[in-house]
Amino acid sequence: MTSGATRQVLQALHAGVGYGTTTTYGELARASGAFVGADGVLGARAVGTMMAANPIPLIVACHRVLAADGLGGFGGGLAAKRWLLELEGALPPTLDFSGA
């Protein structure tokens, strides 16, 4: 069972971030409408926490949600997140095949 805010975020992710595209935690918070506080602060961290708690990351494509300044985190590790994004064409392939 998900909370109302989690449901809003997951629906925004499903509807707005398709194969081969990415968004940031802040953009997803804004798109969901779930985390705009009275002071105007967006809930990028709350969205990140929701993505980190995702029990089915290949179904709920949380790998498509990035930090504003880079890849951000991923439960399967950053190498897996990068690989999935490269597979989808959302990131150019790297020349470093060491997995780092």
Given the structure tokens 């150019």, which residue do they identify?
92
Q: Is residue 60 part of a domain?
A: yes
Q: Which two tokens stand for residue 13?
A: 């992710």
CATH label of the domain that carries residue 81: 1.10.10.10
Domain membership of residue 16 as a residue range: 4-86
Q: Is residue 93 part of a domain?
A: no
Could you give the number of structural domains in the chain? 1
Q: Is residue 51 part of a domain?
A: yes
Opening angle at CA 38, ends 34 and 41, nearest 5 = 65
Of 42, 51, 62, 85, the catalytic one is 62
pLDDT at 2: 63
Q: Is residue 30 part of a domain?
A: yes
What is the residue type of 19?
Y
What is the Cα 36 distance to its own chain's centre? 18
pLDDT at 34: 79
Q: Distance between CA atoms of 59 and 100, rounded to whole angstroms?
A: 25
Q: Distance between CA atoms of 91 and 17, rounded to whole angstroms?
A: 14
What is the residue type of 78?
L
pLDDT tens digits, one per residue of 1-51: 467 888 899 999 999 999 999 999 999 999 998 776 554 345 888 899 999
Is 62 among the residues known to form the active site?
A: yes
pLDDT at 40: 38
